[in-house]
């Protein structure tokens, strides 16, 4: 079937099921019991490592000898076990690794943002990226933990007369990344069918990775993903760091990608309610769609702030590319006020310093990030901002936004202080976007988070939830139910949900990993530091070159700046199930 992506699947009202009712009722979705499109499936169903061109139904490309390059890259003794080295093959570089006496070679750049993997951590069959913690199998190049959507190409290695020789496909060497093999939809449906085997609400990373994983694992039934936004999935974290980025630049996948892999995307379609009894969702416009399995991945919404003067213009919550672009456009040589010292608020403040005439930050705490990173780290970051002309008004709140001809002119604080302002950005936290689930029977906690099991299953059979909108049991913290609103976590949730939808029971197992970036410097963070009672700092806070260990009895989280790859190294220790005692760090 073919479907144009900007087009909604009309008309929902006229339900014309071309699927057999019997098929619709069957409860387990598997790759249809049909022969897998993959001849080289491994036990966990992950397809082997080939290029995107190998997609089922399309002829595998025939590689000719001239498509390959072969080079002797070092002597066998040049690398010890556990070491990595970037090597040059003449027409591109590869990462050579040695573990247990065996050599292997993979692409050298992380497909997420291009980090040099040689600076990451090699451990127990995988490499962890030094920047944001993505993990790749050294045997297959497959992505095992996130962020990022793609995997790595692998290259053949052999040893001849004590020389290590790599043979690599030139194209793979150039692209440095590999999209996993994916199946296509073979269900007989036409575009007016208002039933989907899998329906995904939300086109953020949780929704997208769920859809991609289903196709990667050989799922050949219909997948429909809907979003209330008008865009295809995009890189949300970049919004607050690079406000001028266009939607095109932010896009995670092209329109052709969705078309080629039969992932239908309905844009500007807000879900108003879910009826779990009839397995139907209703959109805001009244149209309906039935599902067999449902994923709710609706993320979060900015928390509205209470103040006088709500109708004044040029006050923003940053959520979409339009918000970011408007802020960047309006702020040139003007006065900007940021309300809230959340990561988003602080990133925006940093991004505006070279555009705005002045940047002021208002915070309710004494120090930014005190709760998340501790007082000392918070103070060091505050100093970095002050050195970059940012003025802080801490232990303060906004009482009024005053305008002139409807446009913002002043921000009035509860202390009585009046700040000149032309643009204001509010970054004062968020809450789960789950209000449409009221009365649905899908369980949410007192804050509105959907509660899920380790398999991302809600209390209703066949309904899964993932990403910012959920609380889930975190094995790392004794299965405590937590909400972790991170880009990496949303990816992983999406994958775990997809595998469980297909009946492949998979429990979440990961080390939470987060990053934030300001003034060209990144803070990396791994673990779950909630409730830490001490912080052990090594390095130099004044120089902004440090690592901070958050502890109770033991280390529960780590953060660093200019100290790579310490956070990825600690994440590896956490991931292996070992604990780090406070005294080990001291
Ligand atoms: C400005 C900004 C910067 C960030 N920076 C970082 C960072 O540096 N590092 C990091 O780890 N994390 C960062 N995050 C957090 C990260 O973006 C989130 O953790 C992640 O996007 C969550 O993914 P998700 O799939 O759960 O939901 P989202 O990405 O929030 O996507 C939710 C989707 O659901 C759709 N939706 C919501 N309600 C409905 C409805 N009723 N009907 C239909 N569709 C609906 C939305 O349109 C959207 O498509 C940042 C977030 C923001 C806003
Ligand atoms: S660059 Fe590797 S995880 Fe981001």
Residue with the bigger pLDDT between 569 and 24: it is 569
* HSE-CB of 395 using CA atoms within 13 angstroms: 1
Give the residue among 474, 509, 476 at the shortest CA–CA distance from 579. Answer: 476
Ligand 2: which of 109, 112, 487, 522 to mutate, most ligand atoms within 8 Å of CB?
112
ipTM above 0.90, yes or no: yes
Both tokens of 168, joined, read 């690599």
Residue with the bigger pLDDT between 478 and 22: it is 478
pLDDT of residue 267: 98
Q: Assign 22 a pLDDT band (cuts: 50, 70, 90).
A: very low
Q: Which helix (H) or strand (E) segment is 170 a member of?
A: helix 170-175
Asked if pLDDT for residue 302 goes beyond 60, the answer is: yes
Weakest mean pLDDT among 40-54, 63-77, 135-149, 569-583? 40-54
pLDDT of residue 192: 74
Instruction: Indicate if ligand 2 lies below 6 Å from the C-beta of 110.
Output: yes
Contact predicate 315/426, CB 8 Å: yes
The number of the ligand 1 atom at minimal distance from the alpha carbon of 318 is 1
The number of the ligand 1 atom at minimal distance from the alpha carbon of 240 is 1
pLDDT of residue 225: 98
pLDDT of residue 90: 94
Instruction: Indicate if ligand 1 lies below 6 Å from the C-beta of 297.
Output: yes
Give the residue among 425, 58, 78 at the shortest CA–CA distance from 261. Answer: 58
Contact predicate 432/418, CB 8 Å: no
Asked if pLDDT for residue 101 goes beyond 50, the answer is: yes
The number of the ligand 2 atom at minimal distance from the alpha carbon of 134 is 3
**In this prediction, what percent of the chain has a pLDDT beyond 90?**
87
Q: Please give the DSSP secondary-structure letter assigned to residue 538.
A: E
Q: What does the pLDDT average to over 475-500?
A: 97
| Ordered DSSP codes for 30-75 | -STTSPPS-TT--TT----S--GGG-TTSPPP---GGGEEEEEEEE
CA-nearest residue for atom 1, ligand 2, is 113
Q: Please give the DSSP secondary-structure letter assigned to residue 206.
A: H
Q: Using the mean position of ligand 1's atoms as its centre, give its distance from the Cα of residue 40 in Å.
A: 35
Residue with the bigger pLDDT between 247 and 31: it is 247
pLDDT of residue 513: 98
Q: Using the mean position of ligand 2's atoms as its centre, give its distance from the Cα of residue 582 in Å.
A: 28
Q: What does the pLDDT average to over 199-207?
A: 98
Q: What does the pLDDT average to over 301-321?
A: 96
Weakest mean pLDDT among 179-193, 206-220, 408-422? 179-193
Q: What does the pLDDT average to over 279-299?
A: 98
pLDDT tens for each residue of 552-568: 989 999 999 999 999 99
Q: Assign 60 a pLDDT band (cuts: 50, 70, 90).
A: low
Number of CB atoms found within 10 A of residue 416's CB = 7
- Tell me the whole-structure pTM to 2 decimals: 0.91
The number of the ligand 1 atom at minimal distance from the alpha carbon of 466 is 26
Calpha distance 504→481 (Å, rounded): 23
Contact predicate 463/179, CB 8 Å: no
Asked if pLDDT for residue 417 goes beyond 70, the answer is: yes
Q: What is the CA radius of gyration of the chain?
A: 25
| Ordered DSSP codes for 391-438 | EEEES--EEEEEEETTEEEEEEETTS-EEE-SEEEE---EEES-GGGT
**3-state SS assignment for residue 378:** helix
Both tokens of 585, joined, read 């760090």
Instruction: Indicate if ligand 1 lies below 6 Å from the C-beta of 549.
Output: no
Q: What is the mean pLDDT of the chain?
A: 90
pLDDT of residue 190: 74
pLDDT of residue 47: 35
Q: Which ligand is nearest to the CA of 271?
A: 1
Ligand 2: which of 109, 121, 129 to mutate, most ligand atoms within 8 Å of CB?
129
Q: Which ligand is nearest to the CA of 348?
A: 1
pLDDT tens for each residue of 436-455: 999 999 999 999 999 999 99
Q: Which ligand is nearest to the CA of 109?
A: 2
Question: How would you class 215 by CB atoms within 10 Å of its CB: exposed for 0-12, middle for 13-18, buried for 19 or more?
Answer: buried
Question: How would you class 81 by CB atoms within 10 Å of its CB: exposed for 0-12, middle for 13-18, buried for 19 or more?
Answer: exposed
Instruction: Indicate if ligand 2 lies below 6 Å from the C-beta of 127.
Output: no
Instruction: Indicate if ligand 2 lies below 6 Å from the C-beta of 147.
Output: yes
Contact predicate 87/74, CB 8 Å: yes
Give the residue among 176, 170, 224, 165 at the shortest CA–CA distance from 200. Answer: 224
Ligand 2: which of 108, 115, 144, 152 to mutate, most ligand atoms within 8 Å of CB?
115
Q: Bridge-partner residues for 393, per DSSP?
A: 362
Instruction: Indicate if ligand 2 lies below 6 Å from the C-beta of 362.
Output: no
C-alpha 518 chain-centroid distance: 19
pLDDT of residue 19: 36
Q: What's the angle, vertex CA 225, arms to CA 219 and CA 228, rounded to 5?
A: 170
Ligand 2: which of 109, 134, 572 to mutate, most ligand atoms within 8 Å of CB?
134
- In this structure, what is the dihedral angle of CA atoms 379, 383, 386, 391, given to the nearest 10 degrees? 10
Give the residue among 151, 146, 179, 29 at the shortest CA–CA distance from 504. Answer: 29
pLDDT of residue 193: 80
Instruction: Indicate if ligand 1 lies below 6 Å from the C-beta of 574.
Output: no
- In this structure, what is the dihedral angle of CA atoms 366, 367, 371, 374, given to the nearest 10 degrees? -130
Instruction: Indicate if ligand 2 lies below 6 Å from the C-beta of 38.
Output: no
Contact predicate 470/464, CB 8 Å: no
Q: Which ligand is nearest to the CA of 144?
A: 2
pLDDT of residue 250: 98
Calpha distance 27→403 (Å, rounded): 57
Q: Assign 66 a pLDDT band (cuts: 50, 70, 90).
A: confident
Q: Using the mean position of ligand 1's atoms as its centre, give its distance from the Cα of residue 299 in Å.
A: 5
* HSE-CB of 573 using CA atoms within 13 angstroms: 17
Instruction: Indicate if ligand 2 lies below 6 Å from the C-beta of 134.
Output: yes
Calpha distance 306→311 (Å, rounded): 12
Q: Using the mean position of ligand 2's atoms as its centre, give its distance from the Cα of residue 564 in Å.
A: 12
The number of the ligand 2 atom at minimal distance from the alpha carbon of 147 is 3
Calpha distance 118→555 (Å, rounded): 26
Calpha distance 345→363 (Å, rounded): 10
Ligand 2: which of 106, 118, 130, 132 to mutate, most ligand atoms within 8 Å of CB?
132
Q: Using the mean position of ligand 1's atoms as its centre, give its distance from the Cα of residue 508 in Å.
A: 20
**In this prediction, what percent of the chain has a pLDDT beyond 70?**
89
Q: Is 4 left (phi over 0), alpha (psi -120 to 50) or beta?
A: beta
Q: Using the mean position of ligand 1's atoms as its centre, give its distance from the Cα of residue 1 in Å.
A: 30
* HSE-CB of 348 using CA atoms within 13 angstroms: 31
Q: What does the pLDDT average to over 361-366?
A: 97
Instruction: Indicate if ligand 1 lies below 6 Å from the C-beta of 204.
Output: yes
């Amino acid at each position: 079937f073919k479907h144009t992506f900007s087009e909604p699947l009309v008309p929902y009202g006229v339900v014309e099921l071309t699927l057999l009712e019997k098929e619709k009722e069957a409860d387990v979705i598997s790759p249809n019991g049909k022969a897998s499109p993959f001849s080289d499936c491994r036990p966990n169903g992950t397809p082997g490592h080939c290029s995107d061109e190998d997609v089922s139904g399309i002829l595998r490309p025939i590689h000719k000898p001239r498509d390959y390059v072969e080079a002797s890259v070092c002597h066998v003794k040049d690398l010890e076990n556990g070491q990595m080295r970037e090597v040059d093959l003449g027409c591109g570089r590869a990462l050579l690794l040695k573990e247990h006496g065996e050599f292997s070679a993979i692409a050298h750049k992380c497909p997420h943002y291009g980090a040099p993997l040689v600076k990451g951590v090699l451990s127990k069959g995988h490499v962890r990226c030094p920047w944001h913690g993505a993990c790749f199998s050294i045997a297959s190049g497959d992505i095992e933990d996130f962020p990022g959507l793609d995997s790595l190409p692998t290259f053949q290695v052999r040893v001849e007369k004590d020389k290590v020789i790599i043979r690599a496909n030139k194209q793979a060497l150039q692209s440095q990344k590999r999209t996993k093999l994916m199946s296509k939809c073979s269900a007989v449906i036409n575009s007016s069918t208002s039933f989907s085997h899998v329906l995904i609400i939300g086109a953020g990373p949780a929704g997208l990775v769920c859809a991609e994983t289903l196709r990667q694992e050989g799922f050949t039934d219909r997948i429909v993903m809907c979003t209330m936004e008008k865009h295809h999935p995009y890189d949300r974290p970049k919004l607050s760091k690079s406000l001028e980025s266009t939607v095109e630049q932010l896009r995670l996948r092209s329109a052709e990608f969705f078309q080629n892999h039969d992932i239908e995307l309905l844009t500007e379609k807000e879900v108003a309610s879910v009826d779990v009894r009839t397995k139907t969702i209703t959109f805001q416009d009244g149209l309906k769609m039935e599902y067999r399995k449902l994923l709710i991945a609706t993320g979060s919404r900015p928390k509205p702030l209470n103040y006088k003067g709500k109708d004044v213009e040029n006050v923003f919550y940053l959520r979409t590319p339009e918000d970011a672009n408007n802020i960047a456009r309006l702020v040139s040589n003007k006065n900007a006020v940021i309300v809230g010292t959340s990561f988003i608020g602080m990133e925006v403040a940093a991004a505006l310093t070279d555009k705005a005439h002045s940047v002021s930050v208002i915070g309710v705490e004494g120090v930014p990030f005190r709760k998340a990173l501790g007082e000392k780290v918070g103070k060091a970051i505050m100093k970095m901002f002050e050195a970059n002309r940012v003025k802080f008004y801490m232990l303060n709140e906004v009482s009024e936004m005053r305008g002139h001809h409807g446009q913002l002119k002043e921000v009035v604080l509860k202390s009585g202080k009046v700040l000149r302002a032309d643009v204001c950005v509010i970054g004062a936290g968020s809450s789960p976007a789950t209000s449409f689930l009221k009365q649905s029977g899908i369980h949410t906690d007192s804050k509105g988070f959907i509660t899920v099991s380790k398999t991302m299953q809600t209390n209703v059979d066949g309904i899964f939830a993932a990403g910012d909108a959920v609380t889930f049991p975190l094995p790392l913290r004794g299965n405590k139910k937590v909400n972790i609103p991170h880009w990496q976590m949303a990816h992983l949730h999406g994958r775990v949900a997809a595998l469980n939808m297909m009946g492949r029971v998979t429990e979440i197992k990961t080390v939470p990993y987060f990053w934030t970036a300001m003034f060209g410097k990144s803070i990396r963070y791994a673990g779950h530091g909630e409730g830490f009672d001490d912080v052990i700092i090594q390095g130099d806070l004044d120089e902004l070159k440090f690592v901070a260990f958050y502890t109770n009895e033991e280390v529960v989280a780590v953060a660093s700046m200019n100290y790579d790859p310490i956070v990825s190294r600690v994440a590896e220790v956490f991931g292996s199930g070992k604990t780090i005692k406070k005294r080990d760090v001291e």
